[in-house]
Amino acid sequence: MTDIDLLPREHEEDLRASVRRLFEAESSAEFVAGLYDDPTADTSKLDRAWAQELGLAALLVPEELGGAGASASEAAVVSEEIGRAVAPVRFLSSAVLATTLAVHLKAQSLLAGLTAGERFAAIAFPATAARIDSGIEIAVEGGSATVSGTVPGVIDGVGADDYLVVAGEGVDTVVVRVSAEHVQAEPFLGFDQSRQLADLSFTHAPAEVLGHGLDAAAAVRAAEILGRTVLAAEQAGLAQRAFDLTLEYVKGRRQFGRTIGSFQAVKHRLADLWLEVSQAGAAAIFAARTAAASEAGEELPDEAELCSLVAGSYASTAAVHAAEEAVQLHGGNGMTWEYPLHLYLKRAKADEQILGHSRRQRQQLAPLIDLPTA
Amino acid sequence: MTDIDLLPREHEEDLRASVRRLFEAESSAEFVAGLYDDPTADTSKLDRAWAQELGLAALLVPEELGGAGASASEAAVVSEEIGRAVAPVRFLSSAVLATTLAVHLKAQSLLAGLTAGERFAAIAFPATAARIDSGIEIAVEGGSATVSGTVPGVIDGVGADDYLVVAGEGVDTVVVRVSAEHVQAEPFLGFDQSRQLADLSFTHAPAEVLGHGLDAAAAVRAAEILGRTVLAAEQAGLAQRAFDLTLEYVKGRRQFGRTIGSFQAVKHRLADLWLEVSQAGAAAIFAARTAAASEAGEELPDEAELCSLVAGSYASTAAVHAAEEAVQLHGGNGMTWEYPLHLYLKRAKADEQILGHSRRQRQQLAPLIDLPTA
Amino acid sequence: MSTEQQRIDDAVAAAAAATTDAMNDSERYGVLYDHGLAWVNFPEGCGGLGVSTSLREYAAQQVAEAGLRTPPRGSNTIGFGMAAPTIVTYGTAEQKLILRDIYTLDTIFCQLFSEPGAGSDLAAVATRAVRNGDGFRVTGQKVWTSGAQNADMAILVARTDPSVPKHQGLSYFLLDMHAPGVEVRGLRQITGEAEFNEVFLTDVEVPEANLLGELGQGWKVANTTLNNERVAIGGGTPREGGMIGVVAGAWRANPEYRDPLLHDELVRLWVEVEVARMMGERLSQKLAAGQPGPEGSGAKLSFARNNHELTGLELQMTGVDGLRYDTYAMRRPSEYSMIGRIPGYRYLRAKGNSIEGGTSEIIRNIISERVLGLPGEHRVDKDVAFKDLPK
Amino acid sequence: MSTEQQRIDDAVAAAAAATTDAMNDSERYGVLYDHGLAWVNFPEGCGGLGVSTSLREYAAQQVAEAGLRTPPRGSNTIGFGMAAPTIVTYGTAEQKLILRDIYTLDTIFCQLFSEPGAGSDLAAVATRAVRNGDGFRVTGQKVWTSGAQNADMAILVARTDPSVPKHQGLSYFLLDMHAPGVEVRGLRQITGEAEFNEVFLTDVEVPEANLLGELGQGWKVANTTLNNERVAIGGGTPREGGMIGVVAGAWRANPEYRDPLLHDELVRLWVEVEVARMMGERLSQKLAAGQPGPEGSGAKLSFARNNHELTGLELQMTGVDGLRYDTYAMRRPSEYSMIGRIPGYRYLRAKGNSIEGGTSEIIRNIISERVLGLPGEHRVDKDVAFKDLPK
């Protein structure tokens, strides 16, 4: 464990401000709520805006590959803002998970489109799985392969240009790329419609092999660590925003001639929640800075993995708790479609399942901290 | 499931009153606290009082065997009062566990002494085990046997006249009786000194076989069900008393010019605690009446076992929660030796471990309610 | 057999004799009402026989055994559960005539109590009822009204005097939902559907005859209604009744849902529901024996919390399936059911269990003050004229 | 290197030159004090150099590197943590002389604040300090005083005027613990030992010179002390520092304690402690960078809760071993340690973590009011003379 600097950095706060401005303009609560009524609504304008105009698609791509050469730390800032706005963007799936895989596998032709923000990629694995593993078979023959099988509930599984499929583990790991025309994607109405899921089918789909063996396994692990880390930041941002909205509400809402925020039972619950949300934020930034240090070779991947699991398992339940308390403390208003709380509740509860729920993540953490089950 | 009558019964309330009177006179908080300073203090006067004078040693012995022919329902009433007074009595170990075993095995000579309250028995198993099983070997030869091995942490393991040892399961179950002179009992200072534990050693101890095979297994199971049921009643009684003391305290204690019971955060915690304690009480009586119905052949043992596990797993955590909240809401006073809260805290936390902690009891419950682990 | 039971038996026999195959439902229910079998504990002439409340179950059994059909309560929940007990307590002879229409389902009721600014604090209602000749003219906005789109009448709490402290200036009315100036709009919820409504009242004329109880006594009358709403979730619930049955059933039926990491939590919740059931059972036996206990207030608290946790667990254990939704289309069901929908719907809908019919925070206040005898909250609004309170 | 760092370096060099092998501890510490290295942020002449607080760690490093021994804070916890910062803020020139004795451990302090009737509500102290010639005569009972049996001096809050509202009638004193009329009795705790004391004060004479701050300003002065007590449990804690290390260590060392049913709970608590550590780390970095954040108030809350849960789990996972106790004999340790005792002791002692130094309820009030900006509790005791308050 090296010392991790946790203080805010100026360029990150600039980045935060520009992302926040974008979402305030292009991803209002009304816009997000609208996706529940029209799941086929076009979000490509928003995706172009962050990916191309703000250049965030290139964030995690090294400078020598034409990217911005930023780190998990900057990606976490973007993700906190995504959580804060419950923004329906392909950032996690394409700019973090797929891009990290592509960078580690040095998949330059794939990366060119991703970096420019002109193409988006998705990795074919069930959203709730704790490991990036498609669960289907890939038949490899030399540099090409064919893919067959179905993968349910893939994050941003519809509308991607490229699909990455991972199978096997350890030395048997294979990562391939299938282009969109060979994939049958069936989007479905989601409990959380701010992150579109789809069921994918591959029928003897031709595929390009991007990597295999231990190098591929290491790339998959790097993507998992970064994915969990960035998701934890989203959850921390969401939790903070749900908390802030609630604090503001209880200060204004009057019942029995007093603001409801003057009732001690409400005050104490908010004090506890503030602590939980603050801890989630601290854990998220700790994980992000540690992942950045690990990617820069200044910290071991094990430590980055450990921190990603600490932040992931903690922030996922904190976000749900914050959103649930927000609904409850808004009373009847919290149950309405008109107030934005439901968007936070749905995203938080769905996020809690993504990349493995907190108990599963703790099982992954246990061997890293030498706490064997038996 | 038959309909279980849950209303208070007059003879039980009379019983409750006489037990309460006894403990108020002979088992005050000062008396119990004194056992921590002098673990060898003589509690035999108290044991004689409930066992002989009130005749409670005979409670669970059928009339045809010279007993009172009462049921788990009456035993639960006694046990609630024990919990209420954190009384240091051999009721659970001798009058419930050992006596139930003796009744089911028709061990008449043993039972004669127990029923009269002139002899006390203990079962040799570790207090925290979920099953009554000594874990040591019994060598049987005809009607006699020898016992060798050590059993740690036996409830009321010192000062008993007879020791029952159970080994094996199913058809291999054996239950034997060893008289005190063949047992080496090492009492130890307990975290909860209101229930004395001792480590037992047997060295080729001669033993009388009381039962074996499936009949013995059924007897052991009956003792387990009754033990858990009666312990749950103790926990419910303890929880209720800790709650009552706390409610009284917050109504009187003033800080900031107000009673602390007027602070909403305190009110809401007590409301939640009241619900938990009330539910523990309802579950305990439900289990007791169901066990009584089962012993009377009006209900299946499976249902009695189920209810004992529901009540046991719930009341054990409720009692700890009530005692912990009692200490906290008494503030600094709760941390003193002078106030009786510590007696409740220690008994509740120790009781929580006895006959298996709540997670273990839920694992025992799962197959009975058809919820397989995998 | 007691005299009261004998009277019930006689009434059932007479009703059976008076019922013919040719009758429609309304006529059949009317026969029961006229024979005092609608609510046997109500006075004679009001659909009852004036017998003890504890005989309601006995009467229901006799009616069922005689093969007489009774109206489904769910078709007129507010009418049966809230309007009828309030009308029978406070109504004039003329007002009591409506009891028969409630029972025969010819008059469906809804409830106009809550407002955007008066949720937990019902006494803060701002809807005005202003004297207007022989009657009142009512203007305001109500919310959380279920079934308003199908209702014929409403029970309404409105402010008749803003110059006195807030609990004193309220009155209670029966309001014709078909009157001009009543506008009903579905209020969309987080589940997508609009189970409840907003009701806008604009200069709605209410005759003097529709004032229930005395002028300015609306708070007292409304509490009769609310006490009937918050009746205990009583005994008689079977084991695994409700949400636990759904979740445990899913676990049993689908081996792929059996995540060992969630097993203890599932069993723990099973136990939570079961002990709540046991407490309800004890309460209901005490009530039947004429020994009411304080446990009733707790039932709503554990019900809400257990439903929160169970639905959250269900969504978790169902993995990707839990992230699928059936429809967010804005529908207007007259009542909701947790069965027959997907885990996501149940998770969202259950959030309302700790809000509707008194939030869990209000219930904790009630328990701590009425059951435990702890002091009430500091009130700044008790002695100030309603019009002078900060809003 | 900044000028301030240069001054520290110079002072360290001078102190090193002035220290000889023949010196005893008191003399060595005295050299550090005289060179301004006791508390570098204190003014010159008070054991400091008047440099920025953020340089304390730098100074400590330099002192350590120069091989100069510093007094163990734990030998005079109240002196270092509470008396010194208060005296340096409010003390007269004469009173400040005592700072040197605090640092050299020649004067050990204890704290006489809490009373049986004034726990969370410190302003309710009833101990009277009555004018008596040139000084005061003090009578009352104090409680929760650690180390009183070994203390030379005390910081004391007493009531000098009961005819004004309670926060206004308090004064703050330095009290000689060896004076006639001071009686110390061990206060036995639930662990068996008496870590704290009751202190009975009977007509104890306190000279005018020992009044710290102005007459009637005791509440303000005491808050300086308390704010120093409630300083953040800051950064620099290593991973698995504290109770989690004990419990995780027991799990690793004893395969028989590894109950799979408790595994998730252990890992969950490991995560809880780790995220609290991360928050503490962020706070300490912010403080070092001159950006104080509100996180400090939360640290005590999570510390107490995590210790409660960890010690409860440890007792559970150790089975029969957890039910053994080492000794309930009434001992009088000068400080407590969770290490080197059994799980049962840790479980009982940890209960005090949510009470001592501000109960968790008080901390939640502080967070909600000072950090979150929510309204304070309704107070009935602010404007009433102390003598007229109900007790």
Is C229 catalytic? The answer is yes
Q: Which secondary-structure segment (H or E) carries C153?
A: strand C153-159
Question: Do the chains contact at D260 and A7, CB–CB below 8 Å?
Answer: no
Q: Which of the following is catalytic: C205, C229, C281, C356?
A: C229
On chain C, the residues whose CB falls within 8 A of the CB of D261 are: 264
pLDDT of residue D234 exceeding 60: no
- How many residues in chain A? 374
Residue with tokens 């089962």: B294
Query: Considering only A314-318, B127-131, D92-96, D279-283, which range has the smallest mean pLDDT?
Result: D279-283
- Looking at residues C46-56, what average pLDDT do you find? 91
Class for domain C221-371, per CATH? mainly alpha
Q: How confident is the model at residue D233 (pLDDT cuts 50, 70, 90)?
A: very low
pLDDT of residue D388 exceeding 50: yes
Chain C nearest-CA distance from B302, in A, is 15
On chain A, the residues whose CB falls within 8 A of the CB of B267 are: 265
On chain A, the residues whose CB falls within 8 A of the CB of C384 are: 257
- Structure tokens that stand for B357 in this block: 């902690």
Distances in Å between the Cα of A160 and the Cα atoms of A184, A185, C307, C346, C378 are 11, 9, 38, 31, 58
The pLDDT assigned to C1 comes to 66
Are the CB atoms for B318 and B312 separated by under 8 Å? no
Distance of CA A108 to the CA centre of its chain: 23
End-to-end CA distance of chain D: 59
| B193 touches D: beta carbon within 8 Å | yes
pLDDT of residue C383 exceeding 70: yes
- Looking at residues C189-207, what average pLDDT do you find? 96
Which residue ranges form the domains of chain B, and what is each CATH number?
10-120 (1.10.540.10), 123-214 (2.40.110.10), 217-369 (1.20.140.10)
Question: Do the chains contact at B282 and C375, CB–CB below 8 Å?
Answer: no
- Structure tokens that stand for B133 in this block: 């099983």
pLDDT of residue C234 exceeding 70: no
On chain B, the residues whose CB falls within 8 A of the CB of D308 are: 324
The pLDDT assigned to C74 comes to 87
The CATH number corresponding to C109-215 among 2.40.110.10, 3.40.33.10, 3.30.565.10, 1.10.490.10 equals 2.40.110.10
CATH of the domain spanning D3-103:
1.10.540
Mutation for testing the C interface, residue in A200, A255, A320, A345 having most C CBs under 10 Å: A255
What pLDDT digit, counting tens, does each position of B297-309 carry? Answer: 999 999 999 999 9
- Looking at residues C107-134, what average pLDDT do you find? 94
What pLDDT digit, counting tens, does each position of C235-256 carry? Answer: 568 999 999 999 999 999 999 9
What is the number of CB-based contacts under 8 A between chain B and chain D? 129
Chain C nearest-CA distance from B273, in A, is 10
The pLDDT assigned to C233 comes to 42
Number of alpha carbons in the 13 Å side-chain half-sphere of residue D389: 26
* pLDDT beneath 70, residues of chain B: 1-2
The pLDDT assigned to D284 comes to 84
Query: What is the rounded distance in angstroms from the CA atom of residue B274 to the CA atom of residue B258?
Result: 22
On chain C, the residues whose CB falls within 8 A of the CB of D264 are: 261
Query: What is the rounded distance in angstroms from the CA atom of residue D344 to the CA atom of residue D315?
Result: 6
Residue with tokens 């007879």: B162
A202: closest CA among A166, A178, A232? A178
- Looking at residues D44-64, what average pLDDT do you find? 92
Chain C residues in contact with chain D using a Cβ-Cβ cutoff of 8 Å:
261, 264, 378
Helices A264-295 and A72-85, axial angle in degrees (round to 10):
150
Predicted complex ipTM: 0.95
Collapsed DSSP state (helix, strand, coil) of residue C115: strand
The pLDDT assigned to B307 comes to 98
Nearest CA in chain B to C300: B275
Q: How confident is the model at residue C232 (pLDDT cuts 50, 70, 90)?
A: very low
| B247 touches C: beta carbon within 8 Å | yes
D241: closest CA among D211, D218, D273, D282? D273
Read off the amino acid at residue A101: L
- Whole-model pTM: value is 0.94
Question: Do the chains contact at C258 and B372, CB–CB below 8 Å?
Answer: yes
Q: How confident is the model at residue C225 (pLDDT cuts 50, 70, 90)?
A: confident
What pLDDT digit, counting tens, does each position of C13-41 carry? Answer: 999 999 999 999 999 999 999 999 999 99
| B209 touches D: beta carbon within 8 Å | no
pLDDT of residue A127 exceeding 50: yes
Higher pLDDT, D227 or C62: C62
For chain D, give every domain's residue range.
3-103, 109-215, 221-371
B83: closest CA among B366, B347, B358? B347
What pLDDT digit, counting tens, does each position of D150-207 carry? Answer: 999 999 999 999 999 999 999 999 999 999 999 999 999 999 999 999 999 999 999 9
Which residues are bridge partners to C137 per DSSP? C130, C205
Closest residue to A369, CB basis, from D270, D278, D289:
D270
Distances in Å between the Cα of A16 and the Cα atoms of A289, C358, D374 are 16, 41, 28
Give chain A's mean pLDDT.
96
